[in-house]
Amino acid sequence: MVSPDIVVVGAGVIGAACAEALSASGLKVTVLDRAGIAGGTTAAGEGNVLVSDKAPGPELELARASRRRWPDLLAALREELGPTLAEAEWEAKGGLVVATTEEAAAPLAHFAAAQRAVGISADELTPEAAAQLEPHLTRGVTAAVHYPEDAQLQPVLAATTLLAAVRARGGEVRAGTAARGVTRDAAGRVSGVRTDDGTLACRAVVNACGPWAGSFAARAGAPITVLPRRGMILVTGPLPAGTVRRKVYDADYVGAVASSDADLQTSTVVESTRAGTVLIGSSRERVGFDETVRVDVLRELARKAVALFPVLAGVPVMRAYGGFRPYAPDHLPVIGADPRLPGLWHATGHEGAGIGLAAATGRLLADLYTGAVPEVDPEPFRVDRPAVIEGERAA
Amino acid sequence: MSRVVVVGGGPAGMAAARAAGAAGVEVLLVDSGARLGGQYHRQDSRAGTERFTLPSGVEYLGDSVVWALEPVAGGHRVHVRTGPADGPGRTGRSVDTPALVLATGAYDRALPFPGWDLPGVFTAGAAQALAKGQGVRVGERVLLAGTGPFLLPVARSLLDVGARVVGVLEAGEPVTGWLARPGGLLAGTGKLGELAGHAALLARHRVPYRRRTAVVEAHGTDRVEAVTAARLNPDWTVVPGSSRRVEVDAVCVGFGFTPQLELAVAARCALAGGFVAVDVAQATSVRGVFAAGELTGIGGAELSAAEGTIAGASAARLLGARPAPPVRALRKARTGRRFAAALDAAHPVRDGWRSWLREDTLVCRCEEVPYGELCAAAREREAYGGRSLKLVTRAGLGPCQGRICGRAVAELTGIQDAAATFARRPIAAPLRLGELAEDPGPQPEAL
């Protein structure tokens, strides 16, 4: 058997995007996952491809690059794989951020102005104009900003599409194979990945284990700090088309993403899916990997969703599900080579934005690996920043 | 005040409430039905009198669903909504308990076949509930099909409400199955007498009972007009040339039962073979949580009641009561389990049912996922993990959340752990977003 050039550990959307981009560069790629593919954080995601929730800075630049790349990538894969296998329910539906208190109105306007200054489409609307975009929206809107660039896709379809491309190019995807660590050659470089089925020889390994990336990095001998933050989502029964048209969220979302001071935060995001159901997110809890569902968290999500869309009060909740978002202490993704161990690469720490950021993350990692000039400045995401490699020691 | 909470008002739950009440502890019995008795003792909702009595000290909460269960210090918090499921104005209540008895029972297992989504196709249990609970017959000419002894009492209920039962089709070869386990057979003499009574009634009404025969297709445009019945090989594939058309206006199918696991899974009780694992005291793997009845294995009302008695006594003991060991119930449970094991072995579901499906047969009816698409999506996207399979195919994502199709989807796509995939539902019963949003009021009723 011919050894792969590179092994990607983790078959979530980030691992899938890295594997796709690497295989597009002509490399032979094998993807491993200890469980089924796209069954962890990716399966618990809403499928957000957002620019609206990010302040100007490196993550917004990555988000913009990803927003440009996703539709092109999916179009190219449609040519390569056919329409069925490349279907990922992409919808460029736009986002609407609303403030519902007088106090929140000015910060939202300020946030949007800063985004406009760097070229984001962030159109301030009157409450009347917002009501025209979303007829069922609460009348208690004090300010609203429309983000036409916000989009959505179905994360598991997206990840499985990317992995199908990897297989079509001669790569391999092995579900149910846990990576236990790496082997090194005499020079100290990565020479393989240890699995329960033996060692898989390769020249490089990408750690795309999401919230479990810290654990794999430690086993590989190059620890990084990536922590889990729990999130819950409610799903309603199917509703008539047009009940909720865009991604609609309360402006307090902006604060929650960037913050790390509370152990529980909820901020409302309401959006419909192509199946007609409405997704209601999302909470942020720092509870480690505890999967226990807290009813007060679900209640808070429901309460805020009904406040935003009173019509939803009578709608049945069909299910609730949760997952773990991976975050680095400085809340920036970790993308690039690990300078401490040649041949080890990381792509993780995307917190709640991994679906959206995946396309550009895969491209960036592949560009860095092949020596191509990256579209996005990789410096802010580098592995050896203090928060990522010294936080480990502090923790 | 500390009290036992029992979920489920069937034979197991009632027995648990009685045993705990008799031991002198306070009990709250929560049941989704309008009246006590569960599916087995389904009461006529039109009758003016209540058939069952409960000892004082047992508070009974009917028309009530437990929609969530969460761990709290020293026990569990049970979240209840009370009132008609489809009506507005249900009220909410949260109760903490150190001793929870789950007796949530089981529901019919249905197998998909072409036409099973037509109106007029019922599960055997639904047909029986309509007959016993409301005096409604699901059709004038009704055919029953499936496997297991439960088809007989359903036929009887249909006859009682004046339906013409044109036949009972048993897919298996129960005689052979029973002979392989004579010990188990003898353990169930009481049960066999009950079944013999049903069989005699069917004979009097000249209802044919056919072995190794099944309904493999239902026909009709707006509703069932006829079915195709066929002889089966031992593996349940169709014997070529044996198909015949039977004119009916309703067909009832039941292929055994699936335990109602949501709450047990939410409490993180260990499962074994798809059922909740319990010890001799009906204790689950989770401290303070007991399980009784069909949730722990399919064995009928008598076994369920015996297990309920044991569970109720165990729960009371956890609250400091000193009930006498329920010796009779323990003995009954032992023999009952042997009978249940024999029953289970005599009525296996054979893989050949898959050959009844066509590419366009809907496997998941809520999301309208046909067999061909289900398998193609799973194969092409290699989505063999439970969670990704659901999201790639949409099977099991609709209003029933895989209750009906989950086991079939798992078997058709090779998912090992159907129970964990489809019973992990933090919101265990449907409720409106407005109900979920409701202020819980003051602190939950104390532990």
Which of B269, B388, B417, B425 best tests the A interface by mutation, with the highest count of A CBs <10 A? Answer: B388
A120 lies in the same domain as A259: yes
Contact residues on chain B for A157, CB-CB shorter than 8 A: 381, 391-392
Residue A110 lies in a domain: yes
Residue B444 lies in a domain: no
A284 lies in the same domain as A244: yes
Whether residue B431 and residue A316 make contact (CB cut-off 8 A), yes or no, is: yes
10 Å CB burial of residue A371 (0-12, 13-18, 19+) is exposed
pLDDT-based confidence at residue B383 (cuts at 50, 70, 90): confident
Peptide bond into A215 cis (omega under 30): no
Least confident of A245-254, A259-268, B132-141, B237-246: A259-268
Measure the CA–CA gap between A164 and A172, rounded to whole angstroms: 9
Q: What is the mean pLDDT of residues B20-34?
A: 95
Q: What CA–CA distances, in Å, run from B265 to A43, A236, B424?
A: 20, 21, 6
A258 lies in the same domain as A314: yes
Q: What is the mean pLDDT of residues B169-189?
A: 67
Q: What is the mean pLDDT of residues B39-43?
A: 79
Nearest CB to B388 within list A36, A167, A319: A36
A247 lies in the same domain as A390: no
B21 lies in the same domain as B123: no
A41 touches chain B (CB under 8 A): no
B131 lies in the same domain as B236: yes
Half-sphere exposure of A90 (CA within 13 A, CB side): 20
B170 lies in the same domain as B50: no
Residue B443 lies in a domain: no
Whether residue B386 and residue A38 make contact (CB cut-off 8 A), yes or no, is: no
Which residues, numbered 200 to 239 in chain A, qualify as contacts with chain B under a Cβ-Cβ cut-off of 8 Å?
232, 234, 236-237
CA distance A96 to chain B (A): 22
Residue A1 lies in a domain: no
A162 touches chain B (CB under 8 A): no
Measure the CA–CA gap between B404 and B116, rounded to whole angstroms: 12
Contact residues on chain B for A275, CB-CB shorter than 8 A: 367, 394, 397
Measure the CA–CA gap between A161 and A74, rounded to whole angstroms: 9
pLDDT-based confidence at residue B170 (cuts at 50, 70, 90): very high
Question: Domains in chain B: how many in total?
Answer: 3
Measure the CA–CA gap between A22 and A165, rounded to whole angstroms: 11
| pLDDT for res A395 | 44
CA distance B319 to chain A (A): 25
B126 lies in the same domain as B230: yes
Angle at alpha carbon of residue A229, lines to A224 and A235, rounded to 5°: 140
Q: What is the pLDDT of residues A334-390, one digit of tens each?
A: 999 999 999 999 999 999 999 999 999 999 999 999 999 999 999 999 999 999 997
Structure tokens at B330: 């323990």
CATH number at residue A277: 3.30.9.10
Q: Would you write out chain A's pLDDT as a tens digit for each of its 395 residues?
A: 678 999 999 999 999 999 999 999 999 999 999 998 999 999 999 999 999 999 999 999 999 999 999 999 999 999 999 999 999 999 999 999 999 988 889 999 999 999 999 999 999 999 999 999 999 999 999 999 999 999 999 999 999 999 999 999 999 999 999 999 999 999 999 999 999 999 999 999 999 999 999 999 999 999 999 999 999 999 999 999 889 999 999 887 555 544 455 566 777 889 998 888 999 988 888 888 888 888 999 999 999 999 999 999 999 999 998 899 999 999 999 999 999 999 999 999 999 999 999 999 999 999 999 999 999 999 999 999 999 997 544 44
pTM above 0.90, yes or no: yes
Q: Residue B387 is inside which H or E element, if any?
A: helix B386-393
3-state DSSP of B319-339: CCCCCCCCHHHHHHHHHHHHH
Residue B372 lies in a domain: yes
Angle at alpha carbon of residue A94, lines to A83 and A242, rounded to 5°: 85
Are B419 and B258 in contact, with CB atoms under 8 Å apart?
no
Handedness of CA B364, B365, B370, B376 (dihedral sign): negative
Residue A138 lies in a domain: yes
Measure the CA–CA gap between B8 and B27, rounded to whole angstroms: 13
B242 lies in the same domain as B224: yes
Residue A129 lies in a domain: yes
B153 lies in the same domain as B27: no
How much of chain A is in helix, strand and coil states, percent to nearest 5?
A: 35, 25, 35
Taking only Cα atoms into account, the Rg of chain A, rounded to an integer number of angstroms, comes to: 21
B237 lies in the same domain as B144: yes
Residue B147 lies in a domain: yes
| pLDDT for res B195 | 76
How much of chain B is in helix, strand and coil states, percent to nearest 5?
A: 35, 25, 40
Residues 6+ apart with CB under 8 A from B320: B25
pLDDT-based confidence at residue B346 (cuts at 50, 70, 90): confident
| pLDDT for res B53 | 86
A361 lies in the same domain as A373: yes
Half-sphere exposure of A179 (CA within 13 A, CB side): 32
Q: What is the pLDDT of residues B110-130, one digit of tens each?
A: 999 999 999 999 999 999 999
Pick the last residue of a domain from B277, B310, B343. Answer: B343
According to DSSP, the residues that pair with A323 across neighbouring strands are A231
| pLDDT for res A394 | 45
Residue A86 lies in a domain: no
Are A350 and A326 in contact, with CB atoms under 8 Å apart?
yes
A346 lies in the same domain as A251: no
Nearest CB to B388 within list A156, A161, A164: A156
Nearest CB to A306 within list B367, B380, B434: B434
Residue B238 CA from chain centroid, whole number: 28
A269 lies in the same domain as A320: yes
Task: Please give the span between the terminal C-alpha atoms of chain A, in angstroms, as a whole number.
Answer: 42
Please identify which residue in the block is written with the tokens 């295989």. A23
CATH number at residue A45: 3.50.50.60
A312 lies in the same domain as A336: no
According to DSSP, the residues that pair with A324 across neighbouring strands are A230
Residues 6+ apart with CB under 8 A from A128: none
Q: Torsion angle, CA of A115/A118/A119/A124, rounded to 10 degrees?
A: 30
Half-sphere exposure of B372 (CA within 13 A, CB side): 5
Residues 6+ apart with CB under 8 A from B189: none
Q: What is the mean pLDDT of residues B398-419?
A: 86
Residue B438 lies in a domain: no
Pick the last residue of a domain from B229, B255, B281. Answer: B255
Measure the CA–CA gap between B284 and B274, rounded to whole angstroms: 14
Measure the CA–CA gap between A99 and A103, rounded to whole angstroms: 8
Measure the CA–CA gap between B7 and B4, rounded to whole angstroms: 10
Nearest CB to A160 within list B367, B383, B398: B383
B377 lies in the same domain as B283: no
Please identify which residue in the block is written with the tokens 């009561």. B321
B237 lies in the same domain as B318: no
CA distance B425 to chain A (A): 6
Q: What is the pLDDT of residues A189-201, one digit of tens each?
A: 999 999 999 999 9
Pick the last residue of a domain from A288, A312, A327. Answer: A327
A177 touches chain B (CB under 8 A): no
Residues 6+ apart with CB under 8 A from A255: A267
Residues 6+ apart with CB under 8 A from B328: B306
Pick the last residue of a domain from A282, A311, A327. Answer: A327
Q: Find the domain containing B65 and state its range.
A: 3-107+258-343
Please identify which residue in the block is written with the tokens 């699995």. A195
| pLDDT for res B49 | 74
Residue A89 lies in a domain: no
DSSP string covering A112-151, please?
HHHHHHTT---EEE-HHHHHHH-TTS-TT-SEEEEETT-E
A168 touches chain B (CB under 8 A): no
Q: What CA–CA distances, in Å, run from A121 to A49, A53, A306?
A: 15, 12, 28
Measure the CA–CA gap between B156 and B313, rounded to whole angstroms: 35
pLDDT-based confidence at residue B40 (cuts at 50, 70, 90): confident
A264 lies in the same domain as A306: yes
Q: What is the mean pLDDT of residues B152-160?
A: 94
A245 lies in the same domain as A378: no
Phi/psi for B259 (5° steps) reads -70, 150
CA distance B117 to chain A (A): 19
Pick the last residue of a domain from A302, A327, A352. Answer: A327
Whether residue A317 and residue B427 make contact (CB cut-off 8 A), yes or no, is: yes
DSSP annotation of B82 reads E
Pick the last residue of a domain from B322, B343, B364. Answer: B343
Residues 6+ apart with CB under 8 A from A54: A60, A63, A115, A257, A353
Structure tokens at A104: 């929140």
> Taking CA atoms, what residue in B is nearest to A316?
B432
Which residue type is seen at B366?
C
B119 lies in the same domain as B249: yes
3-state DSSP of B280-317: CCCECCCCCEEECHHHHCCCHHHHHHHHHHHHHHHHHH
CATH number at residue B183: 3.50.50.60
Residue B323 lies in a domain: yes
10 Å CB burial of residue A25 (0-12, 13-18, 19+) is middle
Handedness of CA B139, B140, B141, B147 (dihedral sign): positive
Q: Find the domain containing A343 and state its range.
A: 6-77+155-226+330-394
Residues 6+ apart with CB under 8 A from A294: A285, B70
Max CA-CA distance within chain A?
Answer: 69
Structure tokens at B293: 């009845």
DSSP annotation of B238 reads B
Residue A370 lies in a domain: yes
Residue A84 lies in a domain: no
| pLDDT for res A391 | 57
Angle at alpha carbon of residue B128, lines to B124 and B134, rounded to 5°: 145
B31 lies in the same domain as B147: no
Question: Domains in chain A: how many in total?
Answer: 2
B273 lies in the same domain as B156: no
A156 touches chain B (CB under 8 A): yes
Q: What is the mean pLDDT of residues B423-440?
A: 89
A144 lies in the same domain as A235: yes
Given a cut of 70, whether residue B239 has pLDDT beyond it is: yes
Measure the CA–CA gap between A134 and A138, rounded to whole angstroms: 9
Measure the CA–CA gap between B293 and B300, rounded to whole angstroms: 8
Residues 6+ apart with CB under 8 A from A60: A51, A54, A115, A118, A120
Residue B249 lies in a domain: yes
Which of A319, A321, A324, A355 best tests the B interface by mutation, with the highest count of B CBs <10 A? Answer: A319
Measure the CA–CA gap between A375 and A373, rounded to whole angstroms: 7
A231 lies in the same domain as A220: no
Residue B440 lies in a domain: no
Give percent of chain A above pLDDT 90: 83
